[in-house]
Structures are given as C-alpha cells and as structure tokens.
Amino acid sequence: MEVTGSTYFGDYVHGRIEGKGRYTLPTETKYNGTMKDGMFHGKGTLYFPNRSKYEGIWDCGISKEGKYTFADGLEFKDKKWHYCDGYDRRFYTEICSGLKPAGISQLTNLDPPRTIPQGCYDCGDGFYNPNTRVVIDYKLRFLRNAGMCFIHLEVLCNI
C-alpha cells in the first residue's frame, strides 16, 4: 500500500486483503465492496472523484457486469443510447429540470458549470495549462505532465 499510495480498511484472511472493505487509490477513486486475494471480487462500487460511480460484479479484479452512473444521475446504456444525439441535444440536467429561459445558455452538463482557470482547458479529469503543459485536478492539485497528445492538440487547434 505504501508503494502505490493506496489505503485499505477492511477484512484480511491470512494477512491478505480479503472480505468486505474500502480501497482508496491515490487518484481518490474509492472501491467499496468485497475483495479476494487483494483484488476486487464479488459485488462492489467504484466511486470516482467527479462523483460518478460504477456498480459491478467483479471476478479476480475484472468487471464481469455493471452499471455506470454519471455524477448528475444519468445511467449509461450501451444499447439504445438516446442521450445528446442528433434528435435531442439537451443535457441530462435540462431533461430533468427543463430548459433555461431564452438568453441563458447552459454550456455543460454541470449546472452551474465548472470554473476553468484563465488560459486552461477542461480535459475531463482536470485542467490542462498549455503554458506549463501540466494537468491539474479539479481541486487544483498536480495530476500529471501533459504528453505528446496535448502538444498535437495544441498544433491542431492552434492553441
């Protein structure tokens, strides 16, 4: 645990992580559920820092079936997905709460939208700063150095 930066609170069998527990990864993603031989096994839920979650059935660390729910409550469906398609482009919050009055735009599914630091870009798990080429998380903590994909994006988009 010390090597990976993870933490675990729960059951052990013969000194191994096994049974019910809470496993927290260094990214602040949390798993609540059952473990076997140090791996997710049985029923469990992954809670992501952006408040989305994945509830699933695991077999030796591999998800066999499950359901992903976005932070706003929208459940992902791999078949017949009709959200934000060519026929209905409303955000899920607009579907649930109605459209805003004319002249008040909703630019993201978050209402109110996330505040993006000046000169940065939202990249899904944090903000990318093209000057420093660093991605910081939504709590403004270092997440990672940007790789070549961001540099190519800058060239393509003339950022």
Ordered per-residue pLDDT tens for the chain, 159 residues: 567 788 999 999 998 999 999 999 988 899 999 999 989 999 999 999 888 999 999 999 999 999 998 887 888 877 776 666 667 667 767 777 777 776 666 666 666 667 888 888 877 777 888 888 888 888 888 888 876 544 444 444 444
Whether residue 61 is found in the same domain as residue 42? yes
Which residue range is the domain that position 90 belongs to?
Answer: 79-110
**What is the reported pTM?**
0.58
Query: Nearest to residue 19, comparing CAs of 6, 4, 9, 30?
Result: 9
Whether residue 93 is found in the same domain as residue 51? no
3-state secondary structure of 156: helix
* Residue 2 falls inside a structural domain: no
Q: Give me 64's structure tokens.
A: 């066999």
